[in-house]
Amino acid sequence: MVGNVPISSDLYEELVRKFVSWANACSDVRFAVILGSRARTDQPADEWADLDIMMVTTNPLHYIRTSEWTAKMGKPLATFIEETSGGDEQERRVLYEGMLDVDYAIFPATKLEQLINVETNTKLPAETLLELANAFGRGMRIILDKDDLGEKLKAIVSGIKQPKPQPPSQEEFLQVVNDFLYHCVWTVKHIMRGELWWALTCLNCRLASLQLRMTEWQARATHGKDYDTWFRGRFLEKWANPQVVTGLRGAYGHYDRNDACAALIASMNLFRQTAIETAEKLNLQYPTEADKKITKWIKSQLKPDSES
């Protein structure tokens, strides 16, 4: 939405048409597919959604190292390179005039051909299958296919049986709990040292990621292992336990010592509640005594500035 005017899907469709016209004229761009919300039927795109295009090319470095080509689709306001979510490739992100947000994932043609030419899915490594399932499994819309690879790709993706998430073992459960407790103490030490940036990075990022893992386990323990918890916290407000969503309001700290202290305690309380409920549902053991000792020490250190 720009001001009070929604970003129309027609504007994105016009951008797609310009992309296809441009790509058809580029001999090195062989294949392109829309992924993400603008290709999904469940949780489809709204007016806030960006456009994700995976473009397959025989010259990926050109599109990574240069940005002039992005002007063929519209007027860029900002553009930069970052790794894709899988970390194996790079994408050029572009913000066009009108606040149209486009991610161009630059994919080498040789890599797609290797995937397509595998005779059976069983010959693909498990990690590759999972990557394909995450990338294409929730929907794709092919917009360019010069080498007739689309049907082969669809066949491979449709044949992937993505492994269902399994409940954590006792060891896996304790790994996450102990990681969380350890970094709570780590956060306190940096608060006491006056390193708020460092402390808040841990609180708002690492501890939050561990809370997400526990929240996913709790949701599947409650609703069944087939319950869809999406990925990287997407749509958490819809699938997570409502108490978790409420608790998260106080679990992130501002750049202020007292607020960071309060947020850490809130984060610990929320994580403990989530973890204990998960443990009870899955017949796992929560390290209560260790938690009590760590919590007691942390509370003894986190006195407001006026009391310290």
Shared domain check, 176 and 98? no
Q: What is the structure's pLDDT at 299?
A: 95
pLDDT tens-digit series, residues 19-38: 999 999 999 999 999 988 77
**Helix or strand run (H / E) with residue 213:** helix 207-223
Pick from 136, 159, 182: which residue ends a domain? Answer: 159
Q: What is the structure's pLDDT at 2?
A: 44
Shared domain check, 48 and 149? yes
Q: What is the structure's pLDDT at 308?
A: 45
| Cβ count within 10 A of residue 275 | 25
What are the Cα distances from residue 249, in Å, to 29, 126, 237, 253, 295?
A: 45, 37, 12, 10, 21
Shared domain check, 194 and 245? yes
Q: What is the structure's pLDDT at 226?
A: 87
Shared domain check, 212 and 290? yes
Shared domain check, 176 and 103? no
- 208 domain-assigned: yes
What are the Cα distances from residue 36, in Å, to 51, 68, 77, 216?
A: 7, 25, 23, 21
Q: Which range of residues forms the domain containing residue 152?
A: 9-159
SS3 call for 46 = coil
Shared domain check, 129 and 86? yes
Residue 32, domain CATH:
3.30.460.10
Shared domain check, 200 and 93? no
Pick from 133, 159, 185: which residue ends a domain? Answer: 159
- 26 domain-assigned: yes
What are the Cα distances from residue 153, in Å, to 23, 27, 115, 142, 255?
A: 20, 21, 8, 10, 48
Distance CA 145, CA 31 (A): 5
| Cβ count within 10 A of residue 260 | 22
Give which of 49, 43, 35 is closest to 7, Cα–Cα: 49
Shared domain check, 152 and 237? no
Q: Which residues of the chain have pLDDT under 50?
A: 1-6, 119-121, 306, 308
What are the Cα distances from residue 99, in Å, to 33, 81, 183, 257, 296?
A: 22, 18, 38, 36, 49
Distance CA 163, CA 161 (A): 6
- Which contacts of 237-242 are long-range, i.e. CB under 8 A and separated by 24 or more positions? 240/215, 241/215, 241/274, 241/277
Shared domain check, 117 and 214? no
> What's the number of domains the chain is made of?
2
Shared domain check, 225 and 133? no
User: Residues 180, 251: contact at Cβ < 8 Å?
Assistant: no
User: Residues 54, 105: contact at Cβ < 8 Å?
Assistant: yes
Q: What is the structure's pLDDT at 305?
A: 56
φ, ψ of residue 217 in degrees (nearest 5): -60, -40
What are the Cα distances from residue 231, in Å, to 54, 67, 141, 234, 236?
A: 19, 30, 20, 6, 9
Shared domain check, 191 and 102? no
- 306 domain-assigned: no
